[in-house]
Amino acid sequence: MAATPVVVAIDGPSGTGKSSTSKAVAARMGLRYLDTGAQYRAITWWMLHAGIDVEDAAAVAAAADKPSIVSGTDPLAPTITVDGTDVAAPIRGQQVTGAVSAVSAVPEVRTRITELQRSIAAEAAEGIVVEGRDIGTTVLPDADLKIFLTASPEVRAARRSAELTGRSGGPAAAGADVVATREALLRRDAADSGRKTSPLAKAADATEVDTSELTLEQVIECVVTLIEERGRRPR
Ligand SMILES: Nc1ncnc2c1ncn2[C@@H]1O[C@H](COP(=O)(O)OP(=O)(O)OP(=O)(O)O)[C@@H](O)[C@H]1O
Ligand SMILES: Nc1ccn([C@@H]2O[C@H](COP(=O)(O)O)[C@@H](O)[C@H]2O)c(=O)n1
């Protein structure tokens, strides 16, 4: 008997483990995977590249429909391109990270990206895990399962610093500064929670999972169990 497709929304603040959890759960359950933060980062990269002042909401709004953003949804090898250019690496840089909350707060940007997200989810015949900030509240309010991941700022900063330090090759790297990383995470959370249009928020019917004291494997197991309870078995 074919498995029933399932749509899973995973939201939460920065660095709570959304991407790591979503990719692993999707791979284990035979689902597609969509990183919506990567889409906002991609449009931000394009704005910066085009010389648009990202603090000028009118200029950002006027350009919102110009770039073509394509997301590959294989959880083992997710991809993101803008006008055919692979931007997977540059969208993770400091410049984009520092600008993305301003761009994602512009309603015309959100309308454009939300439409894209809904069409990708609708095409995923086998089901999909979609992660972001407003998936359960706005993008896919009828998702079969909604998870809201949290973790203390200290834990998130320590995890992110370890990741950045590893990526840059040693403790001397800027990513090793846990205090600065914590401040940057909290600044981005405040901007994402405080915007008028579709802010970062927990849907009323979402299950909250505090990952502060959990290993990544435990969080993955928790989400897989919740999906199985809705009748979907791993492949
Ligand atoms: N439960 C966990 N235990 C330990 N480390 C974890 C856990 N969950 C995630 N991590 C690590 O924390 C870091 C941040 O995780 P991840 O990128 O998945 O978070 P995120 O919520 O998607 O972040 P962002 O919103 O900024 O994209 C990664 O290095 C990841 O390996
Ligand atoms: N559904 C979403 C997802 C993301 N954003 C914005 O993108 C930024 C980057 O997200 P990451 O998950 O890659 O860190 C995030 O800070 C938000 O500004 C969003 O608005 N809605």
Per residue in 13-51, pLDDT (tens digit) is 999 999 999 999 999 999 999 999 999 999 999 999 999
Is the Cβ–Cβ distance between 129 and 75 less than 8 Å?
yes
Residues (pLDDT < 70) of the chain are 1-4, 166-176, 233-235
Paired residues of 145 in beta bridges:
8
Q: Which amino acid is at 105?
A: A
Does ligand 1 lie within 6 Å of residue 37's CB atom? yes
Ligand that comes closest to the CA of residue 213: 1
Closest CA to 185 of 214, 162, 154, 215: 154
- Enumerate the known binding-site residues: 12-20
- Residue 175 is predicted with a pLDDT of 44
Q: How many CB atoms lie within 10 A of CB 166?
A: 13
ipTM value, please give it.
0.98
Ligand 2 pocket: which of 100, 109, 110, 116 to mutate (most atoms within 8 A of CB): 100
**Burial of 227 (C-beta count, 10 Å sphere; 0-12/13-18/19+):** buried
Ligand 2 center to 116 CA (angstroms): 15
Q: How many residues does the chain have?
A: 235
- Residue 231 is predicted with a pLDDT of 77
- Residue 167 is predicted with a pLDDT of 62
Q: Quick check: helix, strand or coil at residue 27?
A: helix
- Residue 150 is predicted with a pLDDT of 98
Ligand 1 center to 15 CA (angstroms): 5
Q: What is the pLDDT of residues 112-130, one digit of tens each?
A: 999 999 999 999 999 999 9
Does ligand 2 lie within 6 Å of residue 136's CB atom? no
Does ligand 2 lie within 6 Å of residue 78's CB atom? no
Ligand 1 center to 211 CA (angstroms): 10
Paired residues of 210 in beta bridges:
150
Q: How many CB atoms lie within 10 A of CB 232?
A: 21
